[in-house]
Structure 1
């Protein structure tokens, strides 16, 4: 009975890599489309001073919807889809490092901690330039006065897609003209300080919550449901612990600041402790469905990607 309650983790060597990557791209794209509005709202909340524009997550949602329509909630989304590359890099790094660390330690927390942090390092190295551009696009519309770069207005266009990438081109040219190549890695240090701890914390908490829940649930209870509950619990924990650095990261990237330390000090000086919680509710709101879909999707993805001879060997 004890063996049934323990959730067996599908490791890298158990997977058919061709299936894994094919299904993985589709899963990642679906998740990003579902949570993008919350990501945009979080960015605008973190960059604004006090409550100058929005008074919380739901106020921001309705104001953007009224003023800019549904398209306003998806500003920069087409650019953000390029982070699919970083997503695959993240997953691959996590699984490979986890496999490597298992040669030195059988402790699941250690494997998850090291692999999660390493995966985030690789993922952010690819993601930051995309994020820098996407965040500038997110701020267009109601939030454009809070950013250094503004897309040129286009009165007549032939297609929506041309508008999207026309604005993207404007922003890229302005960033390069102002800061050169370094401008695309503005906030890189802040991103690492945010997402490496977030990822390193999320995975151990995810496995911890999953194991604790599995011990409380009946032995025949589906592991996938347990994992689906453990995901958002881990996300809420990680988001709360790392949100202060996420606020600093957003301001460094959008406002063009160069010092993480000075930005942190100014935030504390001007807005106090509560400034560190800006966008936290939006972050948790976006991370909850993201975690449920990601965890259930990722675990299902690994199940579907199992090598044929192992399909019947896993309790689901």
Structure 2
């Protein structure tokens, strides 16, 4: 190659080759490196965006699961059309209660990081730290999420003039009531039927699902980065 100014042969500058050691040198961002305010605000905003994008399908999925046979919907597309005709776009987004689960995501990360720091006083093994921290974070997150999910799922099964779940809200004419009224009505019915335990139906099964999952996932993450 020739230099455009002097027309003399130009020496080519080569970058040093990337070695396997360079590829494995992955930067780990620790809790103390984070801007906590930005993390909380942006974390909630990002989770909210994801929630908005998938909630309609979660609602359809729930209603298809609890209906008797094909008494109400023939399938996913049929459910989408019928909900849209009956309630409009807002019929897919009555999820004000469900948004409270955004708190659990932040609590999960905070619990994970703080537990790691606590365990570090007793062991420097990333496997041990992430195993204990992942399990603890899931325990805290599920304890917050499950009652909200129970209420939210009962609200998802509400249809005008239809009873898809154990509980039903609405006025005598069969018309649905406002969102806050529905939530209050569902909470009262759960308390009346099952007491406080009603908000933790399936709690043990939930913990047995999430705690081992997260407890195993995080050690593999550290194994990969190392």
Structure 2 CA distance for partners of 1:207 and 1:138, relative to 1, 3 Å: farther
- What is aligned with 1:289? none
Structure 2 CA distance for partners of 1:125 and 1:63, relative to 1, 3 Å: same
Structure 2 CA distance for partners of 1:152 and 1:143, relative to 1, 3 Å: closer
Matches within 5 A, 1:257-296: none
- What is aligned with 1:118? 136
CA contact (8 A) 1:68 1:141 kept: no
| Residue 130 (structure 1) shift | 1.1
Distance 1:142 1:200 in 2: 42
Q: Given the two structures, how large is their TM-score scaled by the length of structure 2?
A: 0.72
1:29 aligned to 2:44?
A: no
1:186 aligned to 2:205?
A: no
Structure 2 CA distance for partners of 1:45 and 1:98, relative to 1, 3 Å: farther
Structure 2 CA distance for partners of 1:168 and 1:24, relative to 1, 3 Å: same
Structure 2 unmatched ranges of 5 or more: 1-18
- What is aligned with 1:81? 99
2:90 paired residue among 54, 57, 71 = 71
Matches within 5 A, 1:152-191: 152-153=170-171, 163-191=178-206
| Residue 58 (structure 1) shift | 5.0
What per-residue deviation string (whole Å, max 9, x for no partner) do you get for residues 117-170 of structure 1? Answer: 221110111111111111100111179533111111387x9xx9x811111111
| Residue 207 (structure 1) shift | 6.3
- What is aligned with 2:26? 7
More helix per residue: 1
Which has the higher Rg, Structure 1 or Structure 2?
A: 2
CA contact (8 A) 1:11 1:99 kept: no
Equivalent residue pairs, number:
205
Structure 2 CA distance for partners of 1:170 and 1:202, relative to 1, 3 Å: same
1:137 aligned to 2:128?
A: no
2:145 paired residue among 127, 130, 151 = 127
RMSD of aligned residue pairs (Cα, Å): 3.4
Structure 2 CA distance for partners of 1:60 and 1:200, relative to 1, 3 Å: farther
CA contact (8 A) 1:90 1:123 kept: yes
Distance 1:151 1:176 in 2: 15
- What is aligned with 1:38? 57
| Residue 115 (structure 1) shift | 2.4
| Residue 89 (structure 1) shift | 0.9
| Residue 186 (structure 1) shift | 2.0
| Residue 19 (structure 1) shift | 2.9
- Tell which has more relative contact order, 1 or 2 (C-alpha 8 A, sep 6+): 1
Q: Given the two structures, how large is their TM-score scaled by the length of structure 1?
A: 0.54
What per-residue deviation string (whole Å, max 9, x for no partner) do you get for residues 35-64 of structure 1? Answer: 222322333344446666556655544454
What per-residue deviation string (whole Å, max 9, x for no partner) do you get for residues 216-240 of structure 1? Answer: xxxxxxxxxxxxxxxxxxxxxxxxx
